């Protein structure tokens, strides 16, 4: 085994985990640079760089026992080699085991030297995933090595870990570096950061043993448990990772709570006049949440509250009540939404409600240019009471005079850092604004406990009176004409219809083309109905003109892309058809369905799908047919898709766990909360080191 550099100096270091990577033998500047690109800077980072999965190379599988889908290791002798150039170059190598069994090795990427390695009679040790081809079983791009004709096959003594890696760094080299780092793993007492009393109370096993096990699982390890992340060693590491995430958000919350915020009015004259002018009565749930928000904002420390409510539950009215309490005492309000369509919907609602009260509402979005933008920014700087916009609110050059309340709609579309960036716009001496976060995607309790540990949570769990549950059916695209006939009948009864087009590719251009094709089809099929079209590539004014025409009843059918997912309210629309519904997640299907059922007429949603359906798609459509309950749908969505997808954080990195899985490991969260509270209160130093261990540089926002 390679020697480790500067052994004497290493022995003198109290915490070997803090040693730089260059301390390890054979790790030169180029490799250090590659590892740092992956966020690995110290020996400790290598200890906690955990395997994604495992391969079993501890035994050989006879070719007769191979089945499609297996990952297997086989020994065979080359029987034939063929290079073909149909469509693209291919190298095909047939190997046999001497008992009439043959396996094809197929290579699409190869060079001349590699092809020349294979001669009839060459003995190979191969590993890979077995697939069924038209002529039998095959492995595409197997890992292999040539064997001497009579040499004994040396098998691995342990399961082989497969690590996250990057271009230019192979698994073998990375595993070797991690192996050197593991030689420096200290004794349990030095490695463990959770106090012994808490480890004993909650039955936490040895962290050192857990790390060694996941990096070096024995040949007899339970492969099924390891692949599912349910092995006790993995669960021990998942617990610690969830604990670090939880404590980082709690520490963020404590840091923000230590700041001061303006005290907002409990219920002033503006709010009284607004309530009196509303054409509807607030639900009991809305009144309760308004009171919870008012109790927070009447304090001198910042509110951090998430308001979740199903589609159509009235979150905008709650936000307006909070905004009026800020305006009442001379503070500004900023409302940020993820899309211009949703931001424009808020703009119309707020102007409709607030301008009769003499309160100006300013608009600030990315597409504003030149003089109009400069003038809007100037009015914000001079103290415009309510400012509504998109990400543009966070950009440099946007300055508020006295920002007292930040409202963020559809929080799951923004990262924690983005929310804090807008909050920082309000820094005025020691004062920071209150934060109110809205979401129409109900957050499952398990997810909220971890992902939103820095926020108090309110739920608007009551729909306005008169709403009727939407009946949902799933129909194969083969029955498309029946659906179009149903649309015609609904239009003849004076009702309106959404036809939503989706595409699996994330391309506005392709979505627009799909919508345009459906618009042409429906225009020809429904000659006595007026059909409109809206998609993301249209200019804002064009989109608004179409939406206004649909709202006014001038259009019977609106063909749209998923731009109508949020913020559109047309009570007379009582039928929705969603094309290619099998391609959408549950949360998005539920959001789209929420555009109908807003009036007193019975509403329906038709999920058109393209057979054959995969298992996941079948489950999603079944859930949509069975329930309108947003919370049940959210729980199922979490189970099927995982937390990064549900929260929209796969791109932001906010919830990129190395070992933990919030759906699988939900049972750990109650203990995580208890341990976290005790550590933050009684062992703050160790809590900080634990957060640094797991989150490291990604914890920038923890001290924001």
Q: Domain of 207: which CATH number?
A: 1.10.150.20
Percent of the chain with pLDDT over 90: 50
CA dist., res. 71 & res. 406, Å (int) = 52
More confident position, 593 or 506 = 593
More confident position, 574 or 267 = 574
Given 139, 155, 171, which residue is the final one in a domain? Answer: 155
Tell me how many domains the chain contains.
4
CA angle 308, 267, 441 (to 5 degrees): 5
Q: Are residues 141 and 83 in the same domain?
A: yes
Q: Look at the block and give the residue holding tokens 């392709």.
A: 510
CA dist., res. 561 & res. 547, Å (int) = 13
pLDDT value, residue 421: 63
Give residue-wise pLDDT tens across range 80-102.
999 888 777 889 999 998 877 88
Question: Does a structural domain hold residue 669?
Answer: no
In this prediction, residue 542 has a pLDDT band, given cuts at 50, 70 and 90, of confident
In this prediction, residue 296 has a pLDDT band, given cuts at 50, 70 and 90, of very high
Question: Does a structural domain hold residue 561?
Answer: yes
pLDDT value, residue 417: 57
Q: Are residues 44 and 86 in the same domain?
A: no
Q: Are residues 214 and 82 in the same domain?
A: no
Indicate left, alpha or beta for 641 from its phi (over 0: left) and psi (-120 to 50: alpha): alpha
pLDDT value, residue 615: 86
Average pLDDT over residues 338-365: 88
Average pLDDT over residues 260-286: 88
- Quote the distance between the C-alpha of residue 359 and its chain's center: 37
524-533, 646-655, 679-688: the lowest-pLDDT one = 646-655
Q: Are residues 374 and 446 in the same domain?
A: yes
Q: Look at residue 453 and tell me whether its pLDDT is greater than 90.
A: no
Average pLDDT over residues 141-165: 90
Question: Does a structural domain hold residue 642?
Answer: no
Structural domain boundaries, residue 487: 471-627
Question: Does a structural domain hold residue 399?
Answer: yes
Give the domain CATH number at 329: 3.40.50.300
Q: Are residues 340 and 397 in the same domain?
A: yes
DSSP letter assigned to residue 668:
G
Task: Return the exposure string of 559-587: e unless at least 16 CB atoms fall within 10 Å of the residue's CB, then b.
Answer: bbbbbbbbbbebbebbbbbbbbbbbbbbb
Question: Does a structural domain hold residue 420?
Answer: yes
In this prediction, residue 698 has a pLDDT band, given cuts at 50, 70 and 90, of very low
Give the domain CATH number at 85: 2.40.50.140
Q: Look at residue 699 and tell me whether its pLDDT is greater than 50.
A: no
Nearest 5°: phi and psi at 413? -85, -10
181-185, 202-206, 231-235, 595-599: the lowest-pLDDT one = 595-599
Q: Are residues 411 and 314 in the same domain?
A: yes
Given 129, 155, 181, which residue is the final one in a domain? Answer: 155
Q: Are residues 449 and 304 in the same domain?
A: yes
Task: Return the exposure string of 654-688: e unless at least 16 CB atoms fall within 10 Å of the residue's CB, then b.
Answer: bbebebbbbbbbbebbebbbebbebbbeebeeebb
DSSP letter assigned to residue 477:
G
Question: Does a structural domain hold residue 370?
Answer: yes
Coil, helix or strand at residue 174: helix
Average pLDDT over residues 194-201: 96
Give residue-wise pLDDT tens across range 362-398.
998 877 778 888 888 899 989 999 999 988 787 767 8
Overall size of the chain counted in residues: 704
Give residue-wise pLDDT tens across range 46-65.
999 999 999 999 999 999 99
Q: Would you say the C-alpha torsion 5, 11, 15, 17 has a positive or negative sign? A: positive
Average pLDDT over residues 136-160: 90
- Kindly give the residue spans of alpha helices, DSSP state H, lying in 202-354: 207-215, 223-228, 232-257, 269-277, 284-297, 315-327, 340-354
Q: Are residues 431 and 327 in the same domain?
A: yes
Q: Are residues 206 and 132 in the same domain?
A: no
Q: Are residues 90 and 217 in the same domain?
A: no
More confident position, 206 or 426 = 206
Given 406, 426, 460, which residue is the final one in a domain? Answer: 460
Average pLDDT in the chain:
85
pLDDT value, residue 13: 54
Q: Are residues 327 and 413 in the same domain?
A: yes
The whole model's pTM is what? 0.68
Question: Does a structural domain hold residue 259?
Answer: no
pLDDT value, residue 651: 34
Q: Look at residue 77 and tell me whether its pLDDT is greater than 70.
A: yes
Q: Are residues 346 and 430 in the same domain?
A: yes
Question: Does a structural domain hold residue 96?
Answer: yes
Average pLDDT over residues 303-325: 89
Percent of the chain with pLDDT over 70: 87
CA dist., res. 315 & res. 308, Å (int) = 8
pLDDT value, residue 675: 96
pLDDT value, residue 399: 85
């Amino acid at each position: 085994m390679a020697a480790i550099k500067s052994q004497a100096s290493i022995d003198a270091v109290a915490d070997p985990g803090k040693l730089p990577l260059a301390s390890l033998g054979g790790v030169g500047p180029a490799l250090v640079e590659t590892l740092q690109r992956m966020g690995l800077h110290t020996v400790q980072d290598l200890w906690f760089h955990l395997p994604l999965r495992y391969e079993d190379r501890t035994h050989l599988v006879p070719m007769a026992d191979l089945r499609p889908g297996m990952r297997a290791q086989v020994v065979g002798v080359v029987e034939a080699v063929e290079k073909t150039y149909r469509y693209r170059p291919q190298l095909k190598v047939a190997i046999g085991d001497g008992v009439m069994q043959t396996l094809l090795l197929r290579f699409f990427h190869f060079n001349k030297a590699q092809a020349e390695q294979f001669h009839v009679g060459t003995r190979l040790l191969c590993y890979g995933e077995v697939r069924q081809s038209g002529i039998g079983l095959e492995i595409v791009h197997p890992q292999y090595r040539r064997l001497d004709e009579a040499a004994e096959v040396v098998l691995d003594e342990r399961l082989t870990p497969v690590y996250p890696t990057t271009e230019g760094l192979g698994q073998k080299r990375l595993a070797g570096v991690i192996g050197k780092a593991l030689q420096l793993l200290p004794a349990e007492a030095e490695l463990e950061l959770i106090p012994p009393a808490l480890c004993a109370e909650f039955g936490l096993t040895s962290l050192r043993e857990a790390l060694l096990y996941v990096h070096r699982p024995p040949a007899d390890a339970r492969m099924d448990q390891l692949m599912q992340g349910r092995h006790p060693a993995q669960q021990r590491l998942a617990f610690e990772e969830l604990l670090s995430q939880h404590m980082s958000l709690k520490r963020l919350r404590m840091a923000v709570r230590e700041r001061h915020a303006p005290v907002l009015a409990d219920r002033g004259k503006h709010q009284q006049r607004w309530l009196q002018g509303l054409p509807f009565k607030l639900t009991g749930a809305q009144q309760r949440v308004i009171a919870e928000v008012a109790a927070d904002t009447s304090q001198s420390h910042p509110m951090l509250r998430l308001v979740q409510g199903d589609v159509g539950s009235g979150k905008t009215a709650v936000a307006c009540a909070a905004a009026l309490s800020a305006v009442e005492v001379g503070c500004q309000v900023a409302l940020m939404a993820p899309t211009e369509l949703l931001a424009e919907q808020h703009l119309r609602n707020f102007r409709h409600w607030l301008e009769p009260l003499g309160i100006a509402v300013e608009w600030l979005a990315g597409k504003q240019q030149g003089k109009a933008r400069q003038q809007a920014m100037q009015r914000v700087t001079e103290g415009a009471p309510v400012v509504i916009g998109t990400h543009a609110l966070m950009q440099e050059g946007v300055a508020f005079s006295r920002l007292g309340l930040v409202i963020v709609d559809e929080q799951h579309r923004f990262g924690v850092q983005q929310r804090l960036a807008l909050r920082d716009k309000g820094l005025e001496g020691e004062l920071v604004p209150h934060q109110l976060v809205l979401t129409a995607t109900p957050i499952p309790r398990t997810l909220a406990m971890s992902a939103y540990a820095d926020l108090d949570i309110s739920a608007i769990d009551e729909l306005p009176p008169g709403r009727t549950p939407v009946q949902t059916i799933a129909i194969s695209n083969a029955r498309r004409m029946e659906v179009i006939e149903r649309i015609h009948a609904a239009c003849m009864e004076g009702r309106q219809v959404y036809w939503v087009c989706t595409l699996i590719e994330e391309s506005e251009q392709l979505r627009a083309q799909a919508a345009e094709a459906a618009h042409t089809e429906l225009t020809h099929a429904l000659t006595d109905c007026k059909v409109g079209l809206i998609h993301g590539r249209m200019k804002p004014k064009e989109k608004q003109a179409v939406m206004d025409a649909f709202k006014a009843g001038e259009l019977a059918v609106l063909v749209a892309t998923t731009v109508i997912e949020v913020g559109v309210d047309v009570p007379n629309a009582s039928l929705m058809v969603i094309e290619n519904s099998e391609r959408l997640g549950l949360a998005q299907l539920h959001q789209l369905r929420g555009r109908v059922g807003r009036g007193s007429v019975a509403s329906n949603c038709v999920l058109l799908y393209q057979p054959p359906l995969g298992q996941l798609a079948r489950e999603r459509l079944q859930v949509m047919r069975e329930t309108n309950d947003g919370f049940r749908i959210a729980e199922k969505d979490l189970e099927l898709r995982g937390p990064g997808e549900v929260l929209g954080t796969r791109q932001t990195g906010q919830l990129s766990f190395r070992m933990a899985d919030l759906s699988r490991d939900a049972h750990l969260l109650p203990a995580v909360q208890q341990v976290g509270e005790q550590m933050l209160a009684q062992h703050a130093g160790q809590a900080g080191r634990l957060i640094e261990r797991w989150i490291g540089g990604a914890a920038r926002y923890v001290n924001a």
